[in-house]
Amino acid sequence: MATQLQEHRADPVTVLRQNLVAMSDQFKMALPAHISVDKFQRVTMTAIQSNPDLLNADRRSLFGAVTKAAQDGLLPDGREGALVIFRGKNGAQVQWMPMIAGVLKKIRQSGEVATVDCHVVYEKDKFTYRPGIDAVPIFEPDWFADRGNPIGAYAIATLKTGEVVPPEIMNVDQIEQVRKVSRASGNGPWVQWWSEMARKTVMRRFAKRLPSSTDIEAEFQKDETMLVKASALAMTADPLPEQIEARPMGRLDALEHQIEQETPAIEGPADEQRGELFNGLDADEMAERARAETNAMAEDY
């Protein structure tokens, strides 16, 4: 009888469920009113039981990821967000990954955005957009056919005032530049959830032009799957020297400067300010200014 009791207590699912119950007060303080603690715990247990690797991952990182999901007011249901495993020198670590549906939900809840959407475009889709002529892109995918390889992604929104915020459009090369500087470029979400990361990448850049840009940027700052490696050469085309130790950086501003220099973005207030930074400079001066700006940002971290 005692042996059976010990085996029951050692059952990892039972222990985990008990741990989540013990965290009820923390969840209650973090969760929004429309998500009950009971529902959040049930969804979390379902997510963990559907992926047994989570049971064998570092338990502290698992609880940390679950807590961040609660703080974001999103469910780890594989739609609004997911519990993702990163494997490194410290073993299997769990991180919270808000998915694009969760990001869009947060933007809609800002109170100023009427509609917002974000899609990956594939080579066999019909996609056209003429800046200054078209209010919105024409996007006609054949949902039931082979759409080919991805060629880019775009995001667009309409405010409650009726104003259409011009779309943000990034091609695959620009998205891959973001991936290359990710600390998890070869594993984790960029491998398992490429379309999700592509949409989050273009949405992160687009969200800076939304009225709730500060709040949304804060959400991306907390997203561990969006962390990148910072270096003094992040804004140039030069390769990262192996002797320079890369540090995690919570934003992609340095890389976005490089992308925007290569392909001008759709006209907007934020883009005009960035353009003024390099106005009147030749190529060497622009590179030097870029390095100086990157160093200044790196010191903030």
Could you read off the pLDDT of 168-193 as tens digits, one per residue?
999 999 999 999 988 767 777 888 88
Low-confidence ranges of the chain (pLDDT < 70): 1-10, 184, 213-215, 218, 221-222, 224-225, 227-301
In a domain, 71, yes or no: yes
**What share of residues in the chain are helix, strand, coil (percent, to 5)?**
50, 20, 35
Is 197 in the same domain as 169? yes
Is 56 in the same domain as 115? no
Is 133 in the same domain as 270? yes
Is 107 in the same domain as 37? no
Q: Number of folded domains in the chain?
A: 2
In a domain, 1, yes or no: no
In a domain, 279, yes or no: yes
Q: Could you tell me where the DSSP H helices lie in the chain?
A: 2-10, 12-22, 24-30, 37-49, 53-56, 59-72, 100-108, 172-180, 189-192, 194-206, 213-222, 253-262, 269-277, 283-299
At position 111, the amino acid (one-letter code) is: G
Is 279 in the same domain as 149? yes
In a domain, 157, yes or no: yes
Structural domain containing residue 63: 11-98
Is 132 in the same domain as 269? yes
Is 190 in the same domain as 66? no
| Interior/surface letters 46-70, b for 16+ CB within 10 angstroms, e for the rest | ebbeebeebeebbeebbbbbbebbb
Picking from 98, 114, 142, the residue at the C-terminal end of a domain is 98
Which tens digit of pLDDT belongs to each residue from 221-272?
A: 667 667 665 442 344 343 333 332 333 444 445 454 454 445 444 444 334 3
